Amino acid sequence: MATTKNIIELSENDVDKAFRRKQIYDAVFKKGIVDFSAISTLSKDLRNQLSQKFHILEVNEVVRKESIDGTVKFLFRLSDGKCVEAVFLIDKNNHVTFCISSQVGCRMGCVFCKTGTMGLIRNLSAAEILSEVLYLYHFMTTEKGLKDQLFNIVYMGMGEPLDNFDNVMESISLITNPTFFGLSPSRITISTCGLIDRIEPAMQRFPTLRFALSLNHSIQEEREKIMPIARKFSLDEIAARLKDLYAKFKNRFTLEYVLIKDVNMSKKEIDALQRFRHQAFHINLIPLNHSDDQVKRPEEKEISRFMQELEKRHFCVTRRYRRGADIDAACGELCYRENSNAQDFS
């Protein structure tokens, strides 16, 4: 039995009139329609033909959880039965961010991240990544009623995006394509645990693409204990290479610093951060969003003290406040195992 093709494969051989193809793409990528039968500008016959030959989404919603702060976490099932999570974030000013996954699981093994406990199961395809965005866009426009709303995308869900480089780059090409969403690359952020050799090739393709690098410790030997990737790229290498890229692209880097009690918050760590007190960097403090046998969330007074000390030393620093805490949707908490009960996911 022949399989249907994804909507992004639609060509003039399938729909020969350009204005019809534009109607289809506008319905899907501008209005958030994910069912051909709902595209009222097309004839019933054409809608039936499209339904038989194409599918719009590569993901299916299994279940969702909604936080008291408006954050919504989705569990998506892929065509092979594997699952990933994505998060819809909205603030009090209706600023919207889609947090999407790039892999099922992750092989990087950072001790503070629940996704890393899954190991890497597989990469997502560009079409699957695009489908996450499309589904969240559909949710925003239809269920939230936010039509014509601008949104940002962060590759901060499950997986290390730069470990799935080709598919992530292709997904960004599709997302920024005017035929589809036409989103500016400056509205897209890739979060990486430190694959710095892949940042420049990405910026050569998308010079205004944003990057957030998970730093999390300022002392090399200690960083290696909590982030295995640190053995491949040293802090000196990271600082030097990112400063060079800033000079070339004039695009500031966010350094994500997860605050872990009794691990990375002493004066010694603050002193060692000095190499990153540079106009190329903005430090974003992220208090650990969970505690377990290995890592503990610091107390509020410890968080404030650490941030105040950085401000006194004239670092460019902000704090990320926890969103979706009551549904385990915050940074580092996305994790779904195949033997889990979907109704109780993460």
Task: Look at 179-183, 267-271, 329-333 and tell me which has the smallest mean pLDDT.
Answer: 329-333
* CATH 3.20.20.70, applies to 57-344: yes
DSSP, res 338: T
State the Cα–Cα distance between residues 255 and 186, nearest whole angstrom.
17
Tell me the per-residue pLDDT of 101-134, one tens digit each, with 9 for 90 and over.
999 999 999 988 888 889 999 999 999 999 999 9
State phi, psi for 170 to the nearest 5 degrees: -65, -40
pLDDT at position 158 over 80: yes
Confirm whether 331 is a catalytic residue. yes
State the Cα–Cα distance between residues 119 and 114, nearest whole angstrom.
10
Angle, CA of 130, 133 and 134, to the nearest 5°: 85
State the Cα–Cα distance between residues 278 and 166, nearest whole angstrom.
31
Average pLDDT, the chain: 93
pLDDT at 34: 96
pLDDT band at 31 (very low <50, low <70, confident <90, very high): very high
CB-based burial of residue 252 (10 Å sphere; 0-12 exposed, 13-18 middle, 19+ buried)?
middle
- Kindly write down the DSSP assignment for every residue of 145-193, as one continuous string: --TT--EEEEE-SSS-GGGGHHHHHHHHHHHH-TTTT---GGGEEEEES
In sign, the C-alpha dihedral spanning 331, 117, 170, 328 is negative
pLDDT at position 144 over 50: yes
Q: Considering just the CA atoms, what is the radius of gyration of the chain in Å? A: 21
Q: Is it true that 1-56 and 57-344 share their CATH fold?
A: no
Active-site position among 58, 85, 128, 132: 85
> Are the beta carbons of 135 and 76 closer than 8 angstroms?
yes
> Are the beta carbons of 201 and 209 closer than 8 angstroms?
no
pLDDT at 335: 79
pLDDT at 202: 98
DSSP, res 207: T
Task: Look at 119-128, 196-205, 331-340 and tell me which has the smallest mean pLDDT.
Answer: 331-340
* Mean pLDDT for the stretch of residues 230-243: 96
Give the residue among 340, 289, 324 at the shortest CA–CA distance from 72.
324
pLDDT at position 228 over 50: yes
pLDDT at 165: 98
> Are the beta carbons of 189 and 251 closer than 8 angstroms?
no
The percent of residues above 90 in pLDDT, for the chain, comes to 85
Q: Across-strand partners of 319?
A: 285
State the Cα–Cα distance between residues 102 and 127, nearest whole angstrom.
11
The pTM for the full model equals: 0.94
Please give the single-letter amino acid code of residue 40.
S
State the Cα–Cα distance between residues 224 and 44, nearest whole angstrom.
59
Angle, CA of 221, 322 and 296, to the nearest 5°: 40
Helices (H), 161-299: 165-176, 199-205, 220-226, 235-249, 267-272
> Are the beta carbons of 74 and 88 closer than 8 angstroms?
yes
pLDDT at 343: 46
Q: What is the dihedral of CA 140, 141, 144, 148, to 10 degrees?
A: 100
243 three-class SS: helix
Q: What class, spelled out in words, does domain 1-56 have in CATH?
A: mainly alpha
pLDDT at 324: 84
Q: What is the SS3 assignment for 55-124?
A: ECCCEEEEEEEECCCCCEEEEEEECCCCEEEEEEEECCCCCEEEECCCEEEECCCCCCCCHHHHEEEEEC
**Cα separation of the two ends of the chain:** 36
pLDDT at 345: 47
Active-site position among 99, 110, 113, 331: 331
pLDDT band at 1 (very low <50, low <70, confident <90, very high): very low
CB-based contacts of 16: which residues, under 8 Å, 6+ apart?
Answer: none
Q: Between 291 and 114, whose confidence is greater?
A: 114
Confirm whether 85 is a catalytic residue. yes
Domain boundaries, the chain: 1-56, 57-344
pLDDT at 271: 97
Q: Between 312 and 323, whose confidence is greater?
A: 312
pLDDT at position 330 over 70: no
pLDDT band at 333 (very low <50, low <70, confident <90, very high): low
Q: Between 120 and 93, whose confidence is greater?
A: 120
pLDDT at 321: 86
